[in-house]
A and B are shown apart, each in its own frame.
Chain A
Amino acid sequence: QVQLVESGGGVVQPGRSLRLSCAASGCTFSDCAIHWVRQAPGKGLDWVAVMSYDGDHTFYADSVKGRFTISRDTSKNILYLQMNSLRPEDTAVYYCARAVKGETVGRQFDYWGQGTLVTVSS
């Protein structure tokens, strides 16, 4: 059974940084492509970023490219999202989600964490 647990959210001022973590159990990164997806309060789902199974490729939404960096610690089975130059519009619940294995970054999301709330406000 796959379990994903996010942490690291909180309140941060615009322009500051925050690092989110997603601890994965029940799968390893060679088998699991874990994505970051966010949801602003009262809004829809917004895909953010993913790293390929082999770790050689990263993909980002245009809205976060150049500001957010996805990385992982394979020894700890933890995925990170380093968020720099945060803006009020980055305020959201950030989920990590496992994509079923296939292609470069997986297929449909079959497991989701409970999410961690990031609030960007002065």
Chain B
Amino acid sequence: DIVMTQSPDSLSVSLGEGATINCKSSQSVLYGSNNKKYLAWYQQKPGQPPKLLIYWASTRESGVPDRFSGSGSGTDFTLTISSLQAEDVAVYYCHQYYSTPWTFGQGTKVEIK
């Protein structure tokens, strides 16, 4: 199974400042035949289901503000919020869909400082 490890577990950021969340996979999620990284990021607010932010490691889902961006290689990935807004307070998860069992990171809680 591919283990997804996020860091940090929680993050406290001032409004307007940047936030960076890391995600490391225990094996590569880069599929050689199409050169795509099978990695997504989700945002989950209390009492709500997760919301897709980023897929293919760096493609923003339609309607997601451009302050959210994703990057990374085959095993190390980053979600960046360029300028934190109050509505960005949430838990963020990375997710690999490269192979079953699909797995998620443990989550990173983002709060306002």
Q: In the complex, are the beta carbons of A112 and B50 less than 8 A apart?
A: yes
A44 to B44, CA, bound (A): 10
Q: In the complex, are the beta carbons of A46 and B104 less than 8 A apart?
A: yes
- Contact count band on B: 20 to 34
Name A26-60 residues within 8 Å CB distance of B: 35, 44-47, 50, 59-60
A96 to B61, CA, bound (A): 19
Q: In the complex, are the beta carbons of A109 and B101 less than 8 A apart?
A: no
| A contacts with B: majority SS | strand
Contacts of B105 in A (CB 8 A): 44
A13 in the interface (beta carbon within 8 A): no
B49 in the interface (beta carbon within 8 A): yes
A1 CB to closest chain B CB (Å) equals 13
B93 in the interface (beta carbon within 8 A): yes
Name A2-20 residues within 8 Å CB distance of B: none
- Contact count band on A: 20 to 34
Q: In the complex, are the beta carbons of A115 and B97 less than 8 A apart?
A: no
Binary flags per residue of A89-122, CB closer than 8 Å to B gives 1, else 0: 0000001010110000111111011110000000
Please report B residues at the A interface, Cβ cutoff 8 Å.
Answer: 1, 38, 40, 42, 44, 49-52, 55, 61, 91, 93, 95, 97, 100-107
Please report A residues at the B interface, Cβ cutoff 8 Å.
Answer: 35, 44-47, 50, 59-62, 95, 97, 99-100, 105-110, 112-115
